[in-house]
Amino acid sequence: MQVEAVKTYLLDLQSAICEGLAAEDGAGEFIVDEWRREAGGGGRSRVLAEGAVFEKAGVNFSHVMGEGLPASASAARPELAGRSYQAMGVSLVIHPRNPYVPTSHANVRLFVAEKPGEEPVWWFGGGYDLTPYYGNREDCEHWHRTAFDACAPFGDEVYPRYKAWCDDYFYLKHRREPRGVGGLFFDDLNTWDFDTCFAFMRAVGDSYLEAYLPIVRRRRDTPYGERERQFQLYRRGRYVEFNLVFDRGTLFGLQSDGRTEAILMSLPPLVRWEYDYRPEPDSPEAELTEYYLQSRDWLQPA
């Protein structure tokens, strides 16, 4: 295994994404917060707040280790419970200011579970997904085309499999609706050899800015008013609900006694809830749930 090579890549990826986002924002800067974890390991959080384009952008690197896998990491593989582990990854969430620019999330990570006298068990995970407030077909097609192109060198079945997994994973069961328009999600990846799995993780991580920045540039200057802003804040509530109730990364971080500020940096700076909100019929707000928040093949013609 090339664990150090993975760590070097992840740190470089964090820097590249922060540089790309800061250049697009043009006004905000990422603060850097290096932190250590008492139980082992640490990380580097980078956060941009109150920028011209991004109301909040958090890009976190962490590398933590411990004597026993948390329940969130061993639930699907109970045979690994009790093993020592190390986990490293880059996780990011971008909350734009303009309601016509979607929120986006990406994550790439490596887990290694070890036991004396046995071969280490390793797996990769990650992906990215897009959460619009006002849907746009062109944006959805570009996002999924970039994801498709990243997966293509690894087999024709890869994009459909991980696109479907993303649709299933980022689903709010209590709302009976998806969080957004999907993208890619994969976990427990060790089907190929280590080098191929690592190459796939790099392909996903390296394609994130290609997927997101063109959308930001197209929508960042779209005029909006208080109606759109209030709807954006309302829909951000769905993001908070998912991250606090279902998100594996959040659960793992909390269960492994990680740094709370880094774990919860994915949450938006402002959000609101409204009792039994119902959008006006045939409105752009209604179109979001009626058309865009539906599982569909975005690579097929409309």
H-only helix segments in 91-193: 137-151, 158-169
Residue from 37, 44, 46, 105 carrying the catalytic annotation: 105
- The verdict on whether residue 63 carries a ligand-binding annotation is no
Distances (CA, A) of 126 to 176, 225, 267, 273, 274: 24, 35, 19, 29, 32
DSSP 152: G
Distances (CA, A) of 155 to 126, 166, 175, 179, 188: 18, 18, 34, 27, 18
Q: Is 142 a catalytic residue?
A: no
- The verdict on whether residue 91 carries a ligand-binding annotation is yes
Instruction: Give the distance, in angstroms, between the CA of residue 279 and the centroid of all CA atoms in the same chain.
Output: 27
- The verdict on whether residue 98 carries a ligand-binding annotation is no
- Measure CA of the first residue to CA of the last residue in the chain; give whole Å: 44
Q: Strand order in 31-36's β-sheet? A: 31-36, 41-49, 54-66, 84-96, 103-114, 121-131, 182-189
Tokens of 187: 């976990």
* R_g of the chain, CA atoms, integer Å: 19
Distance between CA 109 and CA 90 in Å, rounded?
6
- The verdict on whether residue 95 carries a ligand-binding annotation is yes
Distance between CA 251 and CA 68 in Å, rounded?
15
Handedness of CA 226, 278, 171, 247 (dihedral sign): positive
- The verdict on whether residue 107 carries a ligand-binding annotation is yes
- The verdict on whether residue 142 carries a ligand-binding annotation is no
Per the annotation, binding residues for substrate are 91, 107-109
Catalytic residue list: 105
Per the annotation, binding residues are 91, 95, 105, 107-109, 144, 174
Per the annotation, binding residues for a divalent metal cation are 95, 105, 144, 174
